[in-house]
Chain A
Amino acid sequence: MVDLARKNLLHDKLRFFITVAGVAFAVTLVLVQVGLFVGLLDNSTVTIRHLNADLWVTSHNTPNIDFAHTFSDSYVQRVRSVPGVQRADNLIVWFTQISLPSGAQEGVEVYAMENFERWNFPWSYTGARLNDLRRGPYLFLDDSALQRFGPFAIGEYRELLGTRMQIIGRTQDARSFTTTPVAFVDFDRMQAISQQVLRGNTNYIVVKLEAGADAEGVRREIARRLPHNDVYTSQEWARLSRNYWIESTGLGLNMYLTVFLGCLVGIVVVAQTLYTSTMEHLKEFGTVKAIGGSDGLIYRMVGKQAAISAVFGFVLGAGQALALRPMLSKLQLQMVLTPDFGAIVFVGTLLLCLAASAVSFRKIANIDPALVFRT
């Protein structure tokens, strides 16, 4: 069958390009905004996911992993004695100050444990062994610090709250939603550095269960023994940390608004150009009706034009978003684009473009075929 829909659409190349550009803009906006937001949210839970703990004990009402309060580090003994617990360790997650060679002070988020190796945490690093952190005033610094702190190398010294520390290793992909660079220090060392707050204290107890243990039962028992603490599974804790940024800050709303506006722009552009095209082709549609074509045939034509615009616009928009990814990565911004998300955006683009084309349907239904006789 002669494809009048496609031929009409491509006949006016400028209008087609404008339509596709409008859709592509909306698609790029949605993919980049949501991708960046998901990337940031990923950062908010990356350490939780990699630490491989089954349960997390936090102080009461801790909103997310970055904003922890302290409680006694001796509570870990109560947790270790719960049946079903294979191991439990204290974990400090604390913001502190780091001095740079230039004399400037920057913020750094410190993770401190007694035995990092036992938890295979951090998960990606170069340089010394993790347990070497116990041997002296040493730290591992994440590569994400390069952008904010400037270049650094293994063997160099930095000061944490006035304590001279040597960098003995570099980690990769350890991030925080706050974008503050992450460092890893021995637990006792960190308590000594920040004595006023951290001496005798911890922020978390991380728990690994024995194989086959009743996770819910263990959780209940820990909660009973530590009535002033909260106990979460790893998934719950990750979800809470993520949801904090979505719900308690303006970022979630900002993202939703951006997605909404992006969709609105796309719909308006497609609806406007398709409607204008319909008006300009009214006599042609009248001719189609006059030679026996039904309203349904014309609806399908306009719908097909919307679908073609959606496909081209999505491909162009997704291509633009993917092209931006390396550049954003250089700025330490992670844009997460999964095939599932891409499929959702594609289906959404298609549906919105089809909905936009419906604006023309009423006009089409009211076409008077006698129009073809008018000069």
Chain B
Amino acid sequence: MASKIVLEAVAVTKTFSEGSVSVPVLHGIDLELQSGEVVSLEGPSGSGKTTLLSILGCILTPTTGQVIVDGQEVNASRPHLLPEIRKRSIGFVFQQFNLFPALTALENVEYSLNVRGHRGLEARREAERALESVGLADRHHFLPRDLSGGQKQRVAIARALAGRPPILLADEPTANLDSTAGLQILRLFRRLAKESHSGLLIVTHDPKVSAFADRTLRMQDGRFVEGFIPQAPAQEIVERSVLAS
């Protein structure tokens, strides 16, 4: 399948204002994400990664600049349309998993499909397929409290992928996992993103992530660092991930 640009940011800036105090957080960000592409976004705390992620995810609007999601320009003057764009085009994976504790693994995935407009047997079947794709076919009826951290994140990934959105945004998806589970998640994430031809953007502190990304961007002080070359992953990380697959 030919790739296309699924997410684009053009000269995006963001300034937060509180009374007379203005704090610029993003300065002229340009970014493109292709379908089937995995991009990691690194940077220290306070570099603006989460703010950029929020803007790309149509949770916040930019102060200036353009964001184009799956061919549709996000109109900052009509913020009430943002939920529709998120619903249709974006799947999120969060650092803290953000599963609904009262719902089973299957229901967590199915609920996100319900929010997106899928109902009944169609939603149920799609949720089952999504859980199967992350290797949790036998955990449908487990509540989040009965799942390990890695399993919770798999459910979260299944929830993000269900409905096959063109864009996946992940915020520190391995931060709450041990290194083995983290590697498994990254491998799974990459495989599924490629299979579903979704563009995947991972915000992370974890240098291991760049080994799984097609491209790595680095932010500092609200800007991309030009000429950044990601640190080559340690040989043992690469060998472990290859052996595990």
* A309 to B: closest C-beta gap in Å: 16
Q: How far is B112's CA from A286's CA once the two chains are assembled, in angstroms?
A: 13
B103, A292: Cβ atoms closer than 8 Å:
no
Q: Mark B188-221, 1 if CB is under 8 A from A, else 0.
A: 0000000000000000000000000000000000
Interface residues of B in 111-150 (CB under 8 A from A): 111-112, 114-116, 119, 123
Q: How far is B86's CA from A10's CA once the two chains are assembled, in angstroms?
A: 29
Chain B contacts for A370, CB-based, 8 A = 50, 54, 59-60
Chain B contacts for A288, CB-based, 8 A = 115
* A180 to B: closest C-beta gap in Å: 58
B119, A1: Cβ atoms closer than 8 Å:
yes
B224 adjacent to chain A (CB < 8 Å) = no
B87, A4: Cβ atoms closer than 8 Å:
no
A291, B100: Cβ atoms closer than 8 Å:
no
B95, A287: Cβ atoms closer than 8 Å:
no
Interface residues of A in 284-298 (CB under 8 A from B): 284, 286-294, 297
Chain A contacts for B44, CB-based, 8 A = none
Chain B contacts for A2, CB-based, 8 A = 103, 107, 110-111, 114
Nearest to B114 among chain A residues (CB) is A1
A-B contact pairs, 9 of them (CB 8 A): A1-B114, A4-B100, A7-B102, A11-B101, A287-B100, A290-B59, A370-B60, A372-B98, A375-B96
Nearest to B59 among chain A residues (CB) is A369
Q: Mark B63-93, 1 if CB is under 8 A from A, else 0.
A: 0000000000000000000011011100110
* B208 to A: closest C-beta gap in Å: 20
A373, B112: Cβ atoms closer than 8 Å:
no
Nearest to B80 among chain A residues (CB) is A294
Nearest to A6 among chain B residues (CB) is B102
Q: How far is B84's CA from A289's CA once the two chains are assembled, in angstroms?
A: 10
A8, B115: Cβ atoms closer than 8 Å:
no
A283 adjacent to chain B (CB < 8 Å) = yes
Nearest to A290 among chain B residues (CB) is B92
* A16 to B: closest C-beta gap in Å: 11
Knowing A373-B53, A373-B54 are in contact, say whether A290-B102 is a contact too (CB < 8 A): no
B115, A290: Cβ atoms closer than 8 Å:
no
- Shortest Cβ-Cβ A-B pairs, 5 listed: A292-B87, A11-B102, A7-B102, A2-B111, A292-B86
Q: How far is B167's CA from A315's CA once the two chains are assembled, in angstroms?
A: 48
B94, A372: Cβ atoms closer than 8 Å:
yes
Indicate the member of A283, A284, A369 with the most B CB atoms within 10 Å: A369
A291, B86: Cβ atoms closer than 8 Å:
yes
Nearest to B127 among chain A residues (CB) is A2
* B39 to A: closest C-beta gap in Å: 18
Indicate the member of A8, A292, A372 with the most B CB atoms within 10 Å: A292
Q: How far is B100's CA from A11's CA once the two chains are assembled, in angstroms?
A: 11
A8, B53: Cβ atoms closer than 8 Å:
no
Chain A contacts for B112, CB-based, 8 A = 291
Q: How far is B80's CA from A294's CA once the two chains are assembled, in angstroms?
A: 9
Knowing A292-B84, A292-B116, A373-B54 are in contact, say whether A4-B59 is a contact too (CB < 8 A): no
Q: How far is B87's CA from A88's CA once the two chains are assembled, in angstroms?
A: 81
Q: Mark A340-375, 1 if CB is under 8 A from B, else 0.
A: 000000000000000000000000000001101101
Contact of A289 among B83, B119, B159 (CB under 8 A): B83
Chain A contacts for B101, CB-based, 8 A = 11, 284
Interface residues of B in 3-61 (CB under 8 A from A): 50, 53-54, 57, 59-60
18 further A-B pairs in the complex, CB-CB below 8 A; given A283-B98, A293-B115: A1-B114, A1-B123, A4-B111, A7-B100, A11-B102, A283-B96, A286-B98, A290-B86, A290-B92, A290-B98, A291-B87, A291-B92, A291-B116, A292-B88, A292-B116, A297-B115, A369-B59, A372-B94
